[in-house]
Structure 1
Amino acid sequence: MFRVSNNLVGILNLVTFLLSIPILVAGIWLSKQADSECERWLEKPVIVLAVFLMLVSLAGLIGACCKVSWLLWLYLLVMFLLILLLTVFTIFAFVVTNKGAGEALSDRGYKEYRLGDYSDWLQNRVSNTKNWNKIKSCLYDSKVCSSFADNYLNDTVQEFYAEHLSSLQSGCCKPSNDCNFTYVKPTEWNKNVSVTNSNPDCSAWENDPEVLCFNCESCKAGLLDNIKSNWKKVAIVNVIFLVFLIVVYSVGCCAFRNNRKDNAYRNRY
């Protein structure tokens, strides 16, 4: 009688294999449609993930259903390494996102973001000129500031100050509050030459829609705050996924043990 654990491993891996097909199709579609740095960066991980899921699920499916012990052993080895890698990444994500937060301002609906408030590891990633140039390209392609300008175009200065802006909008699409610039419209501010500003972001600001505050430290900080929020969500999902992987790994170990017993029984008789 075929063991329950073998059937369960086979079903789980069949589902995983079927799920990897649309992921692969999406990656190939992105490679055909990509016309920006962001999309070109995204397509490769998607395709690699899909191929990896396909190969691993096939190994588990064949190993469990066809009782191929060495293939099931390889599947369990990859699963163990995946659990280990995911555990390390989850701990790392919690550690690097534990530091940093926006600064609340009086009479403002939005917060201001300082690069120095975030972890050194994250700061180093955005301080690298090559990395930041790619990120800027992505931010511009996403139209984060052009949509921001359209949404608040008719705001008076008081209405604008009351808006609840995202970290990217606050950091990249408007000048820092320290600059004391005169508001004209969301992405257009007049510099006050009589005011001396120690904040380097004030000199980096330009009314040019392609520049704005994309070269500001506040923009880098706004991005890090956004990453911090997203990574915390990913880390929580990873914990749930880890529990699932551990259960599957345990069932796989039972199936591997069943394979060895069945093979030993056949060899004996």
Structure 2
Amino acid sequence: MGVANNITAVLNFIAFLCSIPIIASGIWLASKPDNECIHLLRWPVVILGFLILFVSLCGFVGAYWYKETLLAFYLCCMAILIALLLILLVFAFVVTRPDGSYAVPGRGYREYRLDGFSRWLRDHVVDSKNWNKIRACLSETDVCPKLNQEYITPDQFFSAHISPLQSGCCKPPTVCGFSYVNPTLWLNPVNPMADPDCYLWNNDQTQLCYNCNSCKAGLLGNLRKEWRKANIILIVAVVVLIWVYLIACSAFKNAQTEDLFRRYKQGWS
């Protein structure tokens, strides 16, 4: 095996290693309660990761045993997969750029407005016909019940940095003026309530604020936070993959040159 083939084989092994964090980040995203309830956004990263893993293995085999067909397959497919990963990254960045959160005086957590998020997220997640299914799915998770185990006193809860999903779905909006009993049990205020979500709050543990716009906004806030974290890993992986791919292309051309030179030398002798 020539030097160029050796380099290509090593590069494909690096590409194989890059697929592991991509798959891991995809599984991490898919395992989150909000993504478990939204099938639209659940598996694209995992699928891309496994495709990169498969293609990089084909490239490694093709380079190690110098199978030109496999190498050509690798170069073609990897270019497509890198392009798809870049498109996914740009798309995720664009749709998660707007942030609907706002600070609440005297609270450690933030609250969320639905109109502060991108139109695409609102149209394809919370404004879709699937919201009833999403709401029912969220109510079956332990997102809200575990708050009662972690926080007891009002001071503990009000200073806590709870997740956007918990902030939007597990308690009424602060503007409603409800009195704290525990994180998921609140007493109605005496004064009139200004926010429509205030009338939707229900102390029934299967309902809470799952019908509220604040819950929809909290769900989008959770998705934004998780995808922003995953994007860091994906950006590093795609930069390495592009670097590996460009060197692999050069090594493939050198391997072909070596092969032609060897054949020419054999024919001359």
Deviation at 1:18, TM superposition (A): 8.2
Q: Cα deviations across residues 11-70 of structure 1 (Å, max 9, x unaligned)?
A: 34346668979x99xx9xxxxxxxxx9399599668745652453123201221222222
Deviation at 1:191, TM superposition (A): 2.4
Q: Which moved more, 1:39-48 or 1:109-118?
A: 39-48
Deviation at 1:145, TM superposition (A): 0.2
SS of equivalent residue, structure 2 residue 172? coil
Separation of aligned partners in 2, 1:101 and 1:39: 21
Q: Cα–Cα, structure 1 residues 235 and 77, in superposed 2: closer, same or farther, change >3 Å?
A: same
Which of 133, 151, 165 is equivalent to 1:168? 165
Separation of aligned partners in 2, 1:233 and 1:40: 18
Separation of aligned partners in 2, 1:95 and 1:48: 21
Amino acid at match of 2:247: V
Residue 235 of structure 1 corresponds to 231
Percentage of identical aligned residues = 43
Segments of structure 2 that go 5 or more residues without pairing to the other structure are: 27-34
Separation of aligned partners in 1, 2:46 and 2:159: 43
Q: Cα deviations across residues 245-269 of structure 1 (Å, max 9, x unaligned)?
A: 1121022112321332244345542
Residue 110 of structure 2 corresponds to 111
**1:185 aligns to 2:191 (yes or no):** no
Deviation at 1:137, TM superposition (A): 4.6
8 Å CA contact retained: 1:171, 1:221: yes
Q: Cα deviations across residues 55-91 of structure 1 (Å, max 9, x unaligned)?
A: 3123201221222222211211111112222222222
- Which residues in structure 2 correspond to 1:108-257 (within 5 Å)? 108-152=107-151, 154-155=152-153, 157-192=154-189, 195-257=191-253
8 Å CA contact retained: 1:114, 1:218: yes
Q: Which moved more, 1:212-221 or 1:228-237?
A: 228-237
* RMSD (CA atoms): 3.3
Amino acid at match of 1:148: L
Residue 66 of structure 1 corresponds to 65
Separation of aligned partners in 2, 1:91 and 1:46: 13
Separation of aligned partners in 1, 2:211 and 2:6: 56
Q: Cα–Cα, structure 1 residues 130 and 258, in superposed 2: closer, same or farther, change >3 Å?
A: same
Which of 26, 36, 39 is equivalent to 1:38? 36
Residue 11 of structure 1 corresponds to 10
SS of equivalent residue, structure 2 residue 144? helix
Separation of aligned partners in 2, 1:110 and 1:204: 21
SS of equivalent residue, structure 1 residue 144? coil
Deviation at 1:160, TM superposition (A): 3.4
Q: Which moved more, 1:58-67 or 1:129-138?
A: 129-138
Amino acid at match of 2:87: V
**1:90 aligns to 2:102 (yes or no):** no
TM-score by length of 2: 0.79
Separation of aligned partners in 1, 2:45 and 2:92: 20
Separation of aligned partners in 1, 2:46 and 2:222: 25
Deviation at 1:103, TM superposition (A): 1.5
Separation of aligned partners in 1, 2:168 and 2:225: 15
SS of equivalent residue, structure 2 residue 130? helix
Deviation at 1:204, TM superposition (A): 1.8
TM-score by length of 1: 0.79
Amino acid at match of 1:235: N
